[in-house]
Each structure stands twice: as C-alpha cells, then as structure tokens.
C-alpha cells in the first residue's frame, strides 16, 4: 500500500498532504503519516510553519469508520493531534470539501484554519451514535463558545465556511482555486508569533456564566433527539468543557465516547451508514452503466402526490411538465406547490428568488402531447390497474422513444403495467412516500424487463433529488408496504382480542416510531375508502365512521382531540370496539405490552425474511433502509432486520411460535444455524 501522507517544502513552510481516496478518512496509515511528517517538520530548524491539506475531493472527512469495533492500532488520533497542537511553530489547516468529525478535530488541533468558500465543517459523530472522540467536544467550545458549539456537536449538521468564520472556527476564507498557495502565505504571516491553541481558549466561559443554555438546548431539541443516547452525551461533554480543566474534560469525553462506541445504538447507526450506501448499488448492474440524460420530467397528476413529486425535481433545477385532466385541478395543484415553497421561504429555508426559480421551471398542461419530449414521465394517478394501463398505453404513444416511464404505484404489479407499452424495458416503479417533497425514501421497483441503464439512471437521479433509494422486486406492496401489512393485521387482531388501541400506539411510540397505526388512521382520516353507508358496519372503521368519528379533522376518530390536537383515549371508541368484537364472537382478554410488541414487530421481520428469500430485496440492509426512511422505524435500532439480529433470530422465532404466528423458512434456517441477516 502506498503511503497516503507526503510532504513538500515551499520555502520555510512545510506542506503536509494527505492522499487517501475517496474521502481522506483518518485510518491508521494516515495517522501514522501525519505524526511522522509533523514530527519531522518540528525537528527541522529550516521549517518555520506547517500547512496540512488534502488531495482529492475533500479535507479529512473523519475517522475511518471501517476501523471501529476492531482492535485499535496506534498512533491514536488524540495523541497525533496533541503532539501537533503542542508545536510552537504555527500549524495551519487548509480546508476544502468537508472537514467532518475527526477531520474537523484535526482542524481544531491546528493553530489556524483557512478554508475555501465552498468548504463545510462539522462534527457529525452523533449521526453515528457517537460524540467526537479526539477532543472535539473540548476544543470546540473553548474556541467558539459553548452556545455556538452545542448545535455543531449535538446536532451534527455541517456549517458553511462563511458561518464557520463568523463563529471563529475559521480564521480566513481563501480563494477557491488557490488553496495551497493561500494557506502557505497565511502560515508565513504567522511565523515567529505566539500560537493560539484551541485547548487553551476561554470562550467556553459563556456556558459557565449561563448554565441554562444546556437545558434550554436540550429542550429545544427534545423531539429530534428522543430515544437517542449520543445527543445527551454530547451536551454533557460540551458542558464539561466549561466545568473541568482541559485534561479532565478530555478524559470525560473519552469515557462518554467509549460507552457509546461499545453500545448497540452506535453499532446500529454505523450499520445504517453503510446500509444507505450499499442500497445505492445494484449487484448485477455495472457501476459504469451509461446513464440516460434527464433534463425534463413529466408528472401525471397534480394532486398531493404528483405535486410533491414534482417539487423534488423543481428544487433540483430540473424542468417539470405536470399534467391534469381538468383546469381547476391543475390550478389547485400548481397553487399548492407555490404555497408550499412560499411557506418554506417564510421559515427562512429558501430565498424568494429560489421560489421563483423553482416555479419558473414548472409547465402545467392539460395536453398529453406536451409530455412528448420528456426524458422521464412519472404517473401518480388513482391506484387502479386499468387506469394505470390506460395511462401507460397513452404515454407509450406520445412520449419519445428512449424515455423512461415510471409508475408511483405503492402495490400494483409493474410487470403488468409494462405490458400496456411496447417498451417494457423502459418501465419501472418509482414509489415516493407522502409528503413526497419531504420523505427521504424512494423505492425503485425493478420490473422483470427493466433495463440496466434505466435502473442506473433512476438510482443516480434519486441522489440528485436528495432521496435515499432502495431497489425492490415486483411483489404486492414491494418491500415497505408488504411488511406494513402483517403489522396492521396484528394491530387489528389485537384490538379485537381486547388490547387497548392506545397501548398499541404507545408500544410503537416507546419503541421509537413517531406514531402508531391508530394515530396514523386518525391523521389520514378514518373515512378513507369508506362506503358512506352508516347502516353497513363490517369493520371497526365502518362503526367509527357511522358515528362521525372521521379522525383528527372531525376532532374525534379512534381518539378524542382537543383544540391543540392532543389525543385522549375515547370511551365511545372502546365501546364501539367491544360491541364489534362481541358481534363477531371474539372473546376479550387483557393483553400485555410485551405481547403487543412481539406481535406487531416479529411478523414484520418474518415478512422481511420472505422478501429476502424471494430475492425481492438485494440484501437485508436494504430493508432496513426502506423502513428507516419511509416508515419512521427508529434509526438507533438499525432497522427491522438489524434489530432482529441484535435481539437474536432465535428470540424472534420463539416469539412467533408462542403467538401461533407463521415462521418463514429462511428465518427458521438462520435462527437454527445461529446466523444473522446482516453479516
């Protein structure tokens, strides 16, 4: 293996360069090389200052995550950085790309930081269930203050070079194309001056003067950090930076870091980091498959779904033609899109110019012919096979050859839809999740005839529009809804057997889901798909609708709602359920939360195993990606399949058997062999 670290001289400045593609992760060879070159620079009297920079697309993007969980190999990052910071010769970090995690900690241990305008800096360790582990939680508050450090360390989102400069994290912004020379000039200007060390900074005193900032920040993030261990540890570490001398603060950080590193949450979140990247790869489609250029997208249907889908492309600067059958529906859809953008602008998350730019890329039409020159058309019409087939036959007629035709169906057979066209190779499913401009998941459904270039193009496009993609084969409900179905069946069965419906929601909330199935029913409206005949009561939902319990919009559904839409269990609903169960001859019993949890979640794992066995998902981790991004499965458990691995597949099988629920062949085989879904 070639040495990733080299150095060269520019007069009295030593330039240390890392070349460790793709992201200059700080693996053992990088740490050893840095330590070696810096020691050489410090020992050489002719060297008066040091610049550290990286080749390739980015400054160090963090510790090498693939080394986590393996026996540590020296030198450690903290010891490498301490030796560097101790230098009396100025050391300057020259930053481009993303200085993240350990990379940001390298920059913090340098005496100065210069960055190009496009650079970003951040401490995203919390997103891996960790906190910074190379004194980042101690140097950062001392350099920029606890108040400015909290969002960086606890939130984990990177900030721009400009913002970093405004809080004192970056000393100078240099020209985009002249980083090394500008950094060398900066370093030269600091020769023979006393060096400022972040570890000796005093800005952290803001947290001592006003200790309320920590609890205030925790409260402000309560919803976001619910269930996660790392953000609370991060707050504790930043607080310690004000309360303890530096060396003790570092010790405290290490303790917190090691506890997180050996816990299940971080293992789960590291699994997810690699799962998301793996999901982007299709095993039998070569990475260099030529892509189809997508410059114009057609959307059929300007309702909530079509409009949301369109916004993804508009926001990414791709022109959209949106088609409706009636002028008023088209106008309504266009207006909603504009209002959504304007609301985003009002919240400061978009400029007015960006709103106009996005809306300027939209062409509303009532005429199919205007879709002729689209490179991709996505239909988001009514979920009915005949309707979909008609739409695809029409598209096949009017849209140019070589264009991709996609359905947003959530469960219909893509192969059957493709038969309505003479180009089945260009047909696939692009299943967006509502609200489509917000939800991260895009399930890409691969038909039996879908061409490689069509798939590869859509995978790339998903990234362009900021989605996380996972490929599913053709089966009812694909990966996501197929696994939702047994959970819903169990939820319905449980309330018929006497379980409290609020216990079912609470079990899922306690597990980490944002909401349970009955809350979801109320939010969506219990009357969706209702036959509108109050005398015809075939389900509990029919009975709720017959009493006007249509959900949140009516102030009552499964739950009663107050003005602020807070839910309370309803006696009327409980009676409705009891009466319905009695009518069906279902005996009632008390059902524990443990039974509820097992009966809701284990059948999902079982369905996941069937999906894997039938090769409807490429890998178990793809299933985790779908459920985390599309259905609110808590990230800190790693997704249903990783979670099942964590609790043991034998436990899942025993649980299913205990409740007389089916066990699939693959699940049983793996449990018997002591195997896991994820290696």
Q: Which is nearer to ligand 3HC, 291 or 496 (CB)?
A: 291
- 249 contacts ligand 3HC (rule: CB under 6 A): no
Cα–chain-centroid distance for residue 313? 19
Is 98 a residue that touches ligand 3HC (CB under 6 A)? Answer: yes
**Contact status, residue 645 vs residue 592, Cβ threshold 8 Å:** no
Query: Which residue number, 194 or 286, has a Cβ lying nearer to ligand 3HC?
Result: 286
| Residue 277 near ligand 3HC by CB under 6 A | yes
Specify whether the CB–CB gap between 479 and 623 falls below 8 A. Answer: yes
DSSP, collapsed to helix, strand or coil, labels residue 520 as: helix
Of 131 and 404, nearer to ligand 3HC (C-beta) is 131
**How far apart (Å, rounded) are the C-alpha atoms in residues 631 and 512?**
11
* 503 near ligand 3HC, rule: CB under 6 A: no
Taking contact as CB under 6 A, which single stretch among the options 4-12, 129-137, 171-179, 655-663 is the one that binds ligand 3HC?
Answer: 129-137
Q: DSSP letter for 564, please.
A: T
Pick from 49, 206, 54, 62: which is nearest to 126 by CA? 62
Work out how close the CB of 100 gets to ligand 3HC at its nearest, in angstroms, rounded to a whole number: 4
With respect to ligand 3HC, which residue has the nearer C-beta, 64 or 147?
A: 64
Q: Report the residue number, 54 or 623, with the smaller CB distance to ligand 3HC.
A: 54
Count residues binding ligand 3HC (CB under 6 A).
24
**Minimum CB–partner distance for residue 304 and ligand 3HC (Å):** 30
DSSP 3-state of 228: coil
Which residue's structure tokens are 């859509």? 458
Among 33, 41, 90, 133, binds ligand 3HC (CB under 6 A): 133
Nearer to ligand 3HC, 237 or 355 (CB): 237
Q: Which is nearer to ligand 3HC, 252 or 388 (CB)?
A: 252
Strand pairing report for 319-323 and 296-300? parallel
Binding of ligand 3HC by 269 (CB under 6 A): no
Which residues, in sequence order, are bridge partners of residue 173? 115
Stretch that binds ligand 3HC, among 22-30, 172-180, 230-238, 556-564 (CB under 6 A): 22-30
Residue 567 forms beta bridges with which residues?
Answer: 561
Locate 198 and state its tokens: 């972040």
The verdict on 134 binding ligand 3HC (CB under 6 A) reads yes
42 vs 100, beta carbon nearer ligand 3HC: 100
Within residues 68-97, the interface with ligand 3HC by CB under 6 A covers: 77
Q: Which of 567, 320, 337, 334 is nearest to 435 (CA)?
A: 337
Identity of the residue, 48 or 139, whose beta carbon is nearer to ligand 3HC in the bound complex: 139
- The minimum distance between CB 65 and ligand 3HC, in angstroms, equals 4
**Residue 100 in contact with ligand 3HC, rule: CB under 6 A:** yes
How near is the Cβ of 293 to ligand 3HC at its closest, in Å?
A: 21
- Report yes or no: 431 and 410 within 8 Å, Cβ to Cβ: yes
Rounded-to-integer distance, Cα 499 and Cα 521, Å: 17
Which pair of tokens denotes residue 324?
């409706």
Pairing type for strands 49-54 and 404-407 reads unpaired
Q: Which of 3, 66, 74, 672 binds ligand 3HC (CB under 6 A)?
A: 66
Burial bucket for residue 671 (CB in 10 Å: 0-12, 13-18, 19+) = buried
Distances in Å between the Cα of 443 and the Cα atoms of 138, 410, 629 are 41, 9, 10
Active site residues: 105, 125
Nearest distance in Å: CB 21, ligand 3HC: 8
DSSP 265: H
Residue 132 as a binder of ligand 3HC (CB under 6 A): the answer is yes
Is 159 near ligand 3HC (CB under 6 A)? no
Find residue 94's DSSP bridge partners. 114
- CB of residue 72 vs ligand 3HC: minimum separation in angstroms? 11
For residues 187 and 91, what is the distance between their CA atoms, to the nearest angstrom?
7
User: Binders of ligand 3HC among 32-61, rule CB under 6 A?
Assistant: 58, 61
- Secondary-structure percent of the chain, ordered helix, strand, coil, rounded to 5: 50, 15, 35
CB of 217 to ligand 3HC, least distance (A): 20
Given CA atoms 27, 33, 37, 38 in this order, what sign does their dihedral have? positive
Closer Cβ to ligand 3HC, 42 or 128, answer by number: 128
State the nearest-atom distance from the C-beta of 29 to ligand 3HC, in Å. 13
What is the Cα–Cα distance from 185 to 172, expressed in whole angstroms? Answer: 12
Q: Give min distance, CB of 158 to ligand 3HC, in A.
A: 8
Angle between helix 480-496 and 593-613 (nearest 10) = 150
Copy the structure tokens of residue 639. Answer: 């997704």
Strands 159-160 and 567-569: unpaired
What gap in Å lies between CA 490 and CA 609, rounded to an integer?
A: 18
Residues 508-537 that bind ligand 3HC (CB under 6 A): none
Residue 576 and residue 534: Cα distance in Å, rounded?
Answer: 14
**Does the footprint of ligand 3HC cover residue 286 (CB under 6 A)?**
no
Query: In the structure encoding, which two tokens stand for residue 604, read together?
Result: 């999902």
Q: Is 4 in the site for ligand 3HC (CB under 6 A)?
A: no
Which of 37, 125, 206, 505 touches ligand 3HC by CB under 6 A? 125
Task: For residue 282, give both structure tokens.
Answer: 């299709």
Q: Which of 25, 381, 458, 494 binds ligand 3HC (CB under 6 A)?
A: 25
Least spacing, CB of residue 132 vs ligand 3HC, in Å:
4
Q: Is residue 469 part of the contact set for ligand 3HC (CB under 6 A)?
A: no
Should residue 23 be labelled a site residue for ligand 3HC when binding is judged by CB under 6 A? Answer: yes
Which member of 37, 64, 324, 379 binds ligand 3HC (CB under 6 A)? 64
Instruction: Give me the residues that bind ligand 3HC (CB under 6 A), please.
Output: 22-23, 25, 58, 61-66, 77, 98, 100-102, 105, 124-125, 128, 132-134, 136, 277
């Amino acid at each position: 293996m070639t040495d990733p670290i080299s150095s060269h001289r520019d007069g009295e400045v030593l330039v240390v360069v890392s070349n460790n593609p793709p992201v200059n992760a700080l693996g053992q060879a990088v740490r050893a090389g840095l330590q070696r070159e810096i020691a050489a620079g410090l020992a050489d009297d002719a060297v008066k200052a040091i610049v550290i920079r990286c080749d390739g697309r980015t400054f160090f993007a963090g510790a090498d995550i693939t080394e986590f969980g393996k026996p540590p190999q020296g030198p450690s990052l903290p010891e490498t950085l301490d030796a560097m910071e101790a230098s009396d010769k100025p050391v300057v970090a020259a930053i481009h790309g993303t200085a993240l995690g350990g990379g940001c900690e390298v920059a913090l241990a340098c005496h100065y930081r210069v960055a190009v305008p496009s650079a970003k800096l951040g401490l995203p360790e919390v997103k891996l269930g960790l906190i910074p582990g190379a004194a980042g939680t101690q140097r950062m508050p001392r350099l920029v203050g606890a108040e400015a450090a909290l969002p960086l360390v606890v939130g984990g989102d990177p900030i721009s070079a400009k913002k970093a400069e405004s809080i004192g994290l970056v000393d100078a912004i240099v020209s985009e194309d002249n980083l090394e020379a500008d950094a060398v000039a900066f370093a030269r200007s600091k020769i023979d001056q006393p060096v400022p060390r972040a570890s000796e900074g005093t800005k952290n005193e803001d947290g001592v003067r006003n200790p309320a900032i920590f609890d205030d920040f925790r409260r402000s993030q309560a919803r976001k950090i619910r269930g996660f261990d790392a953000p609370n540890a991060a707050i504790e570490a930043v607080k310690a930076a004000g309360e303890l001398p530096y060396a003790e603060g570092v010790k405290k950080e290490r303790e917190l870091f090691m506890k997180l590193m050996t816990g299940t949450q971080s293992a789960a979140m590291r699994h997810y980091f690699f799962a998301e990247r793996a999901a982007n790869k299709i095993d039998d489609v070569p990475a260099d498959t030529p892509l189809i250029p997508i410059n114009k997208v057609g959307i059929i249907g300007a309702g909530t779904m079509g409009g949301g889908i369109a916004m993804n492309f508009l926001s990414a600067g791709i022109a959209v033609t949106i088609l409706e059958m009636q002028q008023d529906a088209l106008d309504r859809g266009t207006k909603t899109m504009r209002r959504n953008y304007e609301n985003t602008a009002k919240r400061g998350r978009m400029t007015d110019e960006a709103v106009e730019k996005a809306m300027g890329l939209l062409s509303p039409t009532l005429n199919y012919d205007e879709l002729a020159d689209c490179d991709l058309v996505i239909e988001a019409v009514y979920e009915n096979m005949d309707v979909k087939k008609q739409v695809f036959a029409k598209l096949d007629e009017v849209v140019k050859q070589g264009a991709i035709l996609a359905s947003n169906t959530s469960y219909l057979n893509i192969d059957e839809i493709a038969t309505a066209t003479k180009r089945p190779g260009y047909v696939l499913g692009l299943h967006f999740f509502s609200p489509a401009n917000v939800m991260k998941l895009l399930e890409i459904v691969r038909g039996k005839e879908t061409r490689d270039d069509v798939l590869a193009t859509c995978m790339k496009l998903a990234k362009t529009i900021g989605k996380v993609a996972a490929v599913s084969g053709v089966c009812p409900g694909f990966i996501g809804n197929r696994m939702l179905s047994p959970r819903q069946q169990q939820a319905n069965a449980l309330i018929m057997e006497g379980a409290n419906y609020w216990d079912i929601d609470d079990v899922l909330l306690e597990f980490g889901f944002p909401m349970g199935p009955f809350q979801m029913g109320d939010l969506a409206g219990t009357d969706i798909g209702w036959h509108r005949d109050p005398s015809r009561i075939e389900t509990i939902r029919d009975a709720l609708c017959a009493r006007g319990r249509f959900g949140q919009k009516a102030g009552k559904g499964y739950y009663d709602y107050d003005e602020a839409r807070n839910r309370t269990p309803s006696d009327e609903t409980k009676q409705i359920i009891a009466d319905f169960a009695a009518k069906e001859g279902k005996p009632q019993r008390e059902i524990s939360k443990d039974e509820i949890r097992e009966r809701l979640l284990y059948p999902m794992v079982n369905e996941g195993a069937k999906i894997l066995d039938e090769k409807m998902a490429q890998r178990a981790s793809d299933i985790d990606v779908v459920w985390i991004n599309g259905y609110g499965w808590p990230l800190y458990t790693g997704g249903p399949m990783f979670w099942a691995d964590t609790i043991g597949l034998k436990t899942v099988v025993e649980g299913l058997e205990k409740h007389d629920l089916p066990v699939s062949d693959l699940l049983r085989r793996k449990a018997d062999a002591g195997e896991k879904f994820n290696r």
